[in-house]
Amino acid sequence: MNGFNVDLVKYRSLWFGISLAILIPGIIGIIACCAKFHAPLKPGIDFTGGSILQYQFDKPAALDTVRAVLDDNGFVGSQVQQASISGHEVIVMRTKAIDDEAQKRKLDTGLQQKLGAFKVLSVDKVSATVGPELLTNGLVALIITFSMMVAYISYRFMIDYAVCAIVALFHDVLALCGIFAVLGLTVGTEVDSLFISAILTVIGFSVHDTIVVFDRIRENSKFVGSKKTDETGSTVKKTFGDVANDSVNQTMTRSIYTSLTVIITLTCLFMLGGVTTRDFVLAMLIGIISGTYSSIFNASCLLVWWREFKTQKRVKTA
C-alpha cells in the first residue's frame, strides 16, 4: 500500500454517511429491543437467570423436536443450539431456572421418549441475583474507562482531540450494540457478561488506533501554514485539513495491517471455535472492524471539522 493516498477530508461527508447508514438501523433495533425485552439488547442467562443443559444424544437430535419438548414442559422461548464437543454432537439448551427436580425429570422423560437415550454432560444454574450485579459492574467499568480516556487524551493532546476520540468510541460501541440488537430481534442472539468484556476490549483497541493517528497529526501540525503545490500547480499554504490528511495516509497502512492480523485470527475462531464463545468472537470481530474504520475515517475528519468550525467562528468574531 506504499504510495497509496486518499483525500479523506474531501470526502468526509461520505464517511459520515456510511456511519449513519450503519448506526440508524442499529438505533432502531435498540429501541425495538427496549419495547420487546425491556432492555437495549436481548439479555442472556447471565442477566436474567436460568439453567444451561448440555445433553449428548445417542442418535442425531432435531432442534425443532427439542424445542417442542421444551414448550410442552413449560419452557416456552428457550434457546436451543447444536454444538460439537470432542467430536460428538451436543445439544445446548438455555431455559428459565429449573428449581424443581421433578420438573427436570419430566423434561428428561419427554426428551427420551421423543429422541431416545442421552447422556447428561452438564446442568448449570445461574441465579437471577447475579444479573443486576454484573450489569452494574459492567456499566461502572464503562464509565471509568471513558472518564480515564478523556482525562489522559486531554492531558496528552488537547480537549478537542479527546472529544473526537470519545465520539469515535461511542460510534464503535453504538455500532456493535446496534448490530447485536438487530441480531437479537431476528435470530435470537443474546448478550452475556462476555459481551461486556468484548466492548471493553474493543474500546481499548479503538482508542489505541485513534491515538496513533492523532499523535502523527500532532507531530505534523508544525507544517500548518507551510507552502505546497496544489493540483493546478499554484503555491498555497497547507491547512490543518491538509496536515491531517497527510498524517492519516502515513499511518493508514500500519492501522490496516495491524487490524487484519486480528481480524484473520478472530475469523478463524468464529468459524472453527466452539458455540460458547461464538457470540463473543463475533462481537470482537464487529468491534475491531468498526474501530479501524472510525479511527481512520471518522476521528480525523471530525477533528478537522472541529478546527475549521473554530477558525470560522474566530474569523466572524474578529
| Integer CA distances (angstroms), 237 to 110, 223, 224, in order | 79, 9, 7
Q: 440508524: which residue's cell? A: 24
* Nearest to 295, CA basis, from 211, 220, 221, 219: 211
Cα dist. 151→2, 65, 159, 310 in Å? Answer: 35, 55, 9, 22
Q: Which of 162, 168, 172, 165 is nearest to 201 (CA)?
A: 172
Strand partners, 123: 53
Cβ 264 vs Cβ 18: under 8 Å: no
pTM score of the predicted model: 0.79
Q: Are the beta carbons of 14 and 265 closer than 8 angstroms?
A: no
Q: Which three cell numbers stand for residue 180?
A: 447485536
CA–CA dist 164, 299 (Å, integer): 6
Residues 6+ apart with CB under 8 A from 181: 26, 29, 30, 32, 33, 40, 41, 42
Q: What is the pLDDT of residue 95?
A: 84
- Residue 99's contacts (CB-CB under 8 Å, 6 or more residues apart) are none
Asked whether 89 and 104 are in contact (CB, 8 A), the reply is: no
pLDDT given at position 19: 93
User: What pLDDT does residue 151 have?
Assistant: 81
Domains recognised in the chain with CATH numbers: 12-39+130-317 (1.20.1640.10), 50-126 (3.30.70.3220)
C-beta atoms surrounding 67 within 10 Å: 17
Q: DSSP string covering the chain, please?
A: -TT----TTTTHHHHHHHHHHHHHHHHHHHHHHHHHHSSSS-B-HHHH-EEEEEEEESS---HHHHHHHHHHTT-TT-EEEEEEETTEEEEEEEES----HHHHHHHHHHHHHHH--EEEEEEEEE-TTHHHHHHHHHHHHHHHHHHHHHHHHHHHS-HHHHHHHHHHHHHHHHHHHHHHHHHHHHT---B-HHHHHHHHHHHHHHHHHHHHHHHHHHHHGGGTT-EEE-TTS-EEEPPHHHHHHHHHHHHHHHHHHHHHHHHHHHHHHHHHS-TTTHHHHHHHHHHHHHHHHIIIIIIHHHHHHHHHHHHHHHHHH-
How far apart are the two ends of the chain, measured CA to CA in Å?
A: 44
Whether 46 contacts 39, CB under 8 Å: no
Instruction: Print pLDDT tens along the chain (318 aa).
Output: 445 577 788 888 899 999 999 999 999 999 999 998 888 888 877 777 788 888 988 888 888 888 888 888 888 777 788 877 777 788 888 888 787 788 888 888 998 888 888 888 888 877 665 556 666 776 787 788 778 877 887 787 788 888 888 888 889 999 999 999 999 999 888 887 788 888 888 888 888 888 888 888 888 888 877 777 666 667 777 888 888 888 888 888 888 888 899 999 999 988 887 677 888 999 999 999 999 999 888 998 898 888 888 877 777 776
